[in-house]
Amino acid sequence: MPITIFIEYHVKREQVIQYENMMSTIFLKAKDFGATLIDWYVDDVDKAKFYEVYEVPTHSHYYAFRRIRQMSNHPLFGELCGYIKGTSHYCLVKNRYQLQSVL
């Protein structure tokens, strides 16, 4: 059963444009970690607050992805770390029930 990852963080306001420009590369890299569902949201009120959602196959994929995302010396994710203000918050969710469409 797939694992859903939610990531929430604030981006430094003066770097939002640079951050947004690099996110397509981040999403391509997420696919290397087995991500099959990739969503990205900006907060309606705070335009510097972002949310990412990924679906990965296993807990191991989650832990590997989280570890590399936090590496400030990584060529790609280190740049991303430089745009983030404060701490990224991670939430791991495993679906307990599969809902079926009633349509």
Which candidate, 86, 7, 16, places its Cα nearest to that of 52?
7
Beta strands at 84-94 and 37-42: parallel, antiparallel or unpaired: unpaired
pLDDT in tens, 93-103: 876 555 554 44
pLDDT in tens, 43-88: 999 999 999 999 999 999 999 999 999 999 999 999 999 999 999 9
pLDDT at 96: 59
Query: Is residue 42 predicted with pLDDT exceeding 70?
Result: yes
pLDDT at 99: 54
Query: Is residue 92 predicted with pLDDT exceeding 60?
Result: yes
pTM for the model: 0.86
Quote the longest CA-to-CA distance of the chain: 49
Query: Is residue 30 predicted with pLDDT exceeding 70?
Result: yes
pLDDT in tens, 6-19: 999 999 999 999 99
Dist. CA 58–CA 14, nearest whole Å: 36
Dist. CA 84–CA 48, nearest whole Å: 9
Tokens of 4: 């859903």
- Beta-carbon count within 10 A of 30 CB: 20
For residue 10, what is the enclosing H or E element?
A: strand 3-11
